[in-house]
Amino acid sequence: MSLPVERPEPPRSAPGVHPKRGWSFSPRSDRESGDAVVANFLLHWFPAKVSKASLDWNYSFWLGTVSAALLLLLVLSGMPLLFLYVPSVERAYASVKDIEYVVAFGSWIRSVHRLSAHLMVAVVVLHLARVFLTGAYKNGVGRGQRRPLNWVLGVAMLIVTLFLSFTGYLLPWDQLAYWAVTVGTNIASSIPGVGATLRELLLGGRAIEQATLIRFYVLHVIALPGALGILFLYHMWRIRKDGGLARADRATLLEASAAVVPTPTKTYTLLGLARGTSPQIRATALERPETTVNAVPDLVRRAAIVILGTIAVIGILAVAIHSPLEEPANPLVTPNPAKAPWYFLWLQEIVTDTTIHIGSFTINGAFIGGVLLPGLLIGLLTFWPWLDRSGRAATGVWFARDRRLQNWVFLGLCLVVVVFTLIGTFCRGPYWNFYWPWETWPEIPGRI
């Protein structure tokens, strides 16, 4: 006969830790949903609960997520290219030809990389426009918010994105690459005083040669992606610290007058309003079931739609659109017209329009169009959050009445940039002469 063995109770998990290992995409309770964010490292950058308003398709258009997805695609498609591309003047062009013709799926991989790069420039600009038009760079109700800082980070990321694209332009070492970089760096050289030195620093000499190629290559594959990665992480961190999208703030503000329903638990106040966010705000709108949903799975599902959707669109487009590769770079033959990358074409257009010939005397527009104007615009963009004097109610709302004038001015400037870009892209032919898109350019002669 044996005495009944006293079984020890199974160890209870620490408070806040889900007893099951892992997590579920279809949590049975809010608690399980919140645990997913704790349990999964990748979901850490989401809050446990998120306001319905910030999930809306037509508020943010998810442009930030799209650009992050494009960045992911660029990194993924860039990896195989790193193994295949040879950054040498003698072999770069041939290695790109090999990627195009004989590497398995090489042409598709290169197209994915190129399309994502071009699209990323466009989407990042659109994202910036969205943030401007909704006044999302403004601090709302949360204490400790630093949304202007995040806006500045965003402007920095735009510039890094442009440079990433521009440095990638040179790598195939074809005529397009060579002359686009020639135009781009000649603009840099028009800065009074330091221009020539700056160009020499960029090129590693006075001509586009091996020294330039290796500089652009290292910038393209190490320095700039590293910088963008760090800025990106900081950008995401700031969004969490600032309490999510600016629109969530606004929802709080508007509903603060509603009756405060005491909530029984504080477990899920992970929304991330940092540094002494007043409990009244938490207790009012943000916690209310009708204004928020669980991040897992609702936010995760939408993020998956956007990221996978971007991947699908690029993947299909890359089958249809092949990346061009022109003749090998030839410093002796200038293609006519020689154009900068499309996102700089508005500048090239302004440069030509501000270049004035009076008899034999020429006023070079490169300084105005290439340096002064973009410098001024970037400066204004950077410091705009401190120049904007509109009220808090204008935060996170499209075309707020307070910000009507600045929004119109911003849109006007955008329109000018778009029009000049379109003219530069579609209406400029040989000798930078104007042609309507339906007009044919004069035939370009061949050798044989």
Establish if 17 lies at the interface with other proteins (CB under 8 A).
no
50: which strand partners? Answer: 293
On whether the CB atoms of residues 350 and 323 are closer than 8 A, the answer is no
Cis check: omega of the bond before 337, within 30 degrees of 0: yes
Question: Which of 358, 368, 369, 363 lies closest to 424, judged by CA?
Answer: 369
DSSP 189-242: TTSTTTHHHHHHHHHTSSSSSHHHHHHHHHIIIIIHHHHHHHHHHHHHHHHHHB
Tell me the closest approach of the beta carbon of residue 94 to other proteins, in angstroms: 7
Establish if 309 lies at the interface with other proteins (CB under 8 A).
yes
Rg of the chain, C-alpha, whole Å: 27
Establish if 115 lies at the interface with other proteins (CB under 8 A).
no
* Binding window for other proteins (CB under 8 A); candidates: 78-86, 183-191, 297-305, 365-373: 297-305
Tell me the closest approach of the beta carbon of residue 114 to other proteins, in angstroms: 15
- For 402-440, give one letter per residue: b (16+ CB within 10 A) or e: bbeebbeebeeebeebeebbeebeeebbeebeeeeeeee
Structure tokens at 276: 């002494």
Establish if 289 lies at the interface with other proteins (CB under 8 A).
yes
Tell me the closest approach of the beta carbon of residue 332 to other proteins, in angstroms: 7
Report the site for other proteins in 168-197 (rule: CB under 8 A).
174-175
Nearest to other proteins of 108, 432 (CB atom):
108
* Binding window for other proteins (CB under 8 A); candidates: 75-83, 133-141, 179-187, 318-326: 318-326
On whether the CB atoms of residues 203 and 215 are closer than 8 A, the answer is yes
Tell me the closest approach of the beta carbon of residue 187 to other proteins, in angstroms: 24
Establish if 301 lies at the interface with other proteins (CB under 8 A).
yes
Number of shown-chain residues binding other proteins (CB under 8 A): 52
Tell me the closest approach of the beta carbon of residue 379 to other proteins, in angstroms: 40
Establish if 294 lies at the interface with other proteins (CB under 8 A).
yes
Establish if 29 lies at the interface with other proteins (CB under 8 A).
yes
Establish if 364 lies at the interface with other proteins (CB under 8 A).
no
On whether the CB atoms of residues 420 and 349 are closer than 8 A, the answer is yes
Report the site for other proteins in 85-104 (rule: CB under 8 A).
90, 94, 97-98, 100-102, 104
Establish if 311 lies at the interface with other proteins (CB under 8 A).
yes
**Burial class of residue 26 (count of CB atoms within 10 Å of its CB; 0-12, 13-18, 19+):** exposed
Q: Could you give the CA distance from residue 196 to residue 193 in angstroms, rounded to a whole number?
A: 7
Q: Could you give the CA distance from residue 44 to residue 355 in angstroms, rounded to a whole number?
A: 53
Report the site for other proteins in 41-80 (rule: CB under 8 A).
55
Q: Which x/- pattern, by CB under 8 A, does the window 381-420 give for other proteins?
A: ----------------------------------------
Torsion of Cα atoms, 241 then 246 then 248 then 252, to 10°? 100
Establish if 18 lies at the interface with other proteins (CB under 8 A).
no
Establish if 12 lies at the interface with other proteins (CB under 8 A).
no
Tell me the closest approach of the beta carbon of residue 62 to other proteins, in angstroms: 12
Would you tell me which residues interact with other proteins (CB under 8 A)? 27-33, 55, 90, 94, 97-98, 100-102, 104-105, 108, 174-175, 289, 292-294, 297-298, 301-302, 304-305, 308-309, 311-313, 315-316, 318-319, 324-327, 332-333, 336, 443-448
